[in-house]
Structure 1
Amino acid sequence: MREFEKKLNTSRIWYAKYMDAAKRHGKKVVVGLAGGLLLVVGVVAIPYPGPGWLIVFAALAILATEFEWAGRILHFAKGKYDAWQHWLAAQSAVVRALFWCATAIVVVLTVWLLNGYGFMCDILGLDWPWAHSPLPIFAR
């Protein structure tokens, strides 16, 4: 009976170690996938009005809980973002206006290319062919 109990305890210890390792690796995979997906969404959202940079920083913070490199990138990116904000604030009104006009052009072109205006024309029953995206994936 003693031998059996000894083997049982050994197997329990091995099982506990194995499960702890599996949980750690599973968590790392889940954090990596969720943080990576959120990071992609944030990078895509950067040029648009809204929380693009906030999403990027949140994704990097999530990734930094499991990956040391993400913490280094987060620290670096925050510094560069702050430097960019200070630089832009120090510029003349003309430079700031040009920056915001360029941002608006990027947004308008992206919505057009993704057929946002064409979609709204279809909903409203407008026959404006120029509002539809030129991309073949959105062809009617």
Structure 2
Amino acid sequence: MNTGSNGPGEVAVAADETKTDGAPEGREQGLGSKAPEFIKARRMLHLSWQVGVFVIGLAVVVAGIIMLPLPGPGWVVIFGGMAIWATEFVWAQLVLRWTKRKVTEAAHRALDPKVRRRNITLTAIGLVIVAAIVGFYLWKFGLVMPWKIKDQ
């Protein structure tokens, strides 16, 4: 903790050195605004900053939602918008932490040898079924598109 003579500013710096649960900041950053100190020091400027961050994050999230049915990296853009919100809002930081934890757990489960073997087996069975359906279609109708099939 720094004991310089900067007054009230030092208390804010010392409070930012630890997370809310008391763990050092090196592992995981604490919750709260990541705005520069000169913005946080002025109430109206900080409120304007938060509105700007919210509007920009909202625009990115809406663009990601639009990309879900259209070509484009919809989910990546949505999480990018959430990351923009997380620079300023605690609720977005908590959502991102929860999402990161769930994705990490899913990745570990997917790498489990039993789960990988099951997934490979199910994929192989699915491919055999699709190949059988395509083979039957080609045997029955040849290379004719479904909309050109006449009653036989």
Fold-level match, TM-score > 0.5? no
Scaled by the length of structure 1, what TM-score is found?
0.44
- The normalised TM-score by structure 2 is 0.41
Answer 1 or 2: which has greater helix percent. 1
